[in-house]
Structure 1
Amino acid sequence: MYKVIGLTGGIASGKSTASDYIRSLGFEVLDADVYARKVTEKDSAGYHKIIEAFGTDILDENKEIDRRKLGEIIFNDPEERKKLNGISHPEIRRMMNADQEAFLKHNHVFLDIPLLFENGLDKNCDITITVYVTKENQMERLMERNNLTEKEAASRVNSQMSLDEKKNLSDYVFDNNNDKKELFDQIDEFVEMLKKQQL
């Protein structure tokens, strides 16, 4: 029996690095962010609903949704974030579920979902994994990666469930406080157990 494995983390925790590596090992990784982008694609149903909810100020000169402008609104206001999630999440879930069913016939499927626990999607998974870093490392990496001030980084980090909390809710943890090699070794070990059906 193939398993559905939920992979989560926080902003700048290295979840995408883990996903890319898992993908390179031959597994399907369904990335919620990719589906989220499809929901905001110009002229999609989601696109029109988002403009209706947030106004045309969030559009760039090509009439595309400017994710940075939208991000500024939702990262600083929980109510606005809830409004966006109410539009996008059902649509994301519908697309992901369809792909999951198709791929599960042939292999284990990983779901890369930032809000895995927040949205109760862990209940649809056989196994859950958090890519974990300390809050200090998370802040440092985010400031460096996105060229943010400490205040901007803090507002993004604090808008999410803490990684300590996610770690406690997970079946497995990939510790990403050190280098990539150490992260990849942990993934290799997990995949080996998966292949031997020891999970």
Structure 2
Amino acid sequence: MSGFIIGITGGVAAGKSAVTSRFQALDVTVADADLAARDAVAPGSDGLAEVVAAFGTGVLAADGRLDRAAMRARVFADSAARARLEAIVHPRVRRQLMAECEAAPGPYAIAAIPLLAEGGGREAYPWLDRILVVDVLPETQRRRLTARDGIDVALAERMIAAQADRRERLAIADDVIVNDGPVEALDAHVAALDRRYRALAATHHA
């Protein structure tokens, strides 16, 4: 049972997955909010039923699953729709992440939460002991997004603008990794934080 939990967040294309994969390589359990969000609206779930009740059957693909591409396009164009969707999904995600982290082996566990700042920060996640922000410049986000997703600059800009800005994320950070260099540079950053978190967890448990 992990009694010490770290939240990891960062803007879209900041490199959160590259960071969490390195923690996992050090035998740290990572509970992923994106996976929890998929579970929240899985076929047959009450979450999906609530989404359909709010948005209509047009949000479903032919196989009965949530049409994620259509839903994403809709909520990025309509802030009220995004708020409705988040009100359905976020509480379910929080419950699942907390349960996974508390059940994890090892001295500490990680909850990877892309929308931590947008979803209420520390008030919404009072069970987080520390928050690690993976930080990059908006120009870097745009470049990575257009290359990674094959989208145009306008959509990349809308995706970035739909999230909290850097100042809001950094305001809730206890620790920061600036991910503007080669991906190999993350190894040393993560190793140092792992040592720190293990020491903090030992003190916390004591």
Name the structure 2 match of 1:140. 143
Name the structure 1 match of 2:76. 75
Residue identity opposite 1:147 in structure 2? G
Separation in 1, partners of 2:127, 2:141: 27
Bigger drift between 163-172 and 30-39 goes to 163-172
Shift of 1:121: 4.1
Name the structure 2 match of 1:33. 34
SS of structure 2 residue aligned to 1:197: helix
Unpaired runs of 5+ residues, structure 2, are: none
Q: Does 1:193 align with 2:196?
A: yes
Separation in 2, partners of 1:132, 1:118: 15
The 8 Å contact of residues 175 and 183 in structure 1, kept in 2 or not, is answered as no
Separation in 2, partners of 1:34, 1:162: 23
Which consecutive segments of 4 or more residues in structure 1 shift more than 6 A?
none
Unpaired runs of 5+ residues, structure 1, are: none
Separation in 2, partners of 1:5, 1:114: 13
Separation in 2, partners of 1:58, 1:164: 33
Q: 1:177 pairs with 164, 176, 180, which one?
A: 180
Cα–Cα, structure 1 residues 28 and 112, in superposed 2: closer, same or farther, change >3 Å? same
Q: 2:163 pairs with 144, 160, 179, which one?
A: 160
SS of structure 2 residue aligned to 1:11: coil
CA RMSD of aligned residues (A): 1.8
The size of the alignment, in residue pairs, is: 198
The 8 Å contact of residues 28 and 106 in structure 2, kept in 1 or not, is answered as no
Shift of 1:2: 4.1
Bigger drift between 13-22 and 160-169 goes to 160-169
Shift of 1:55: 1.3
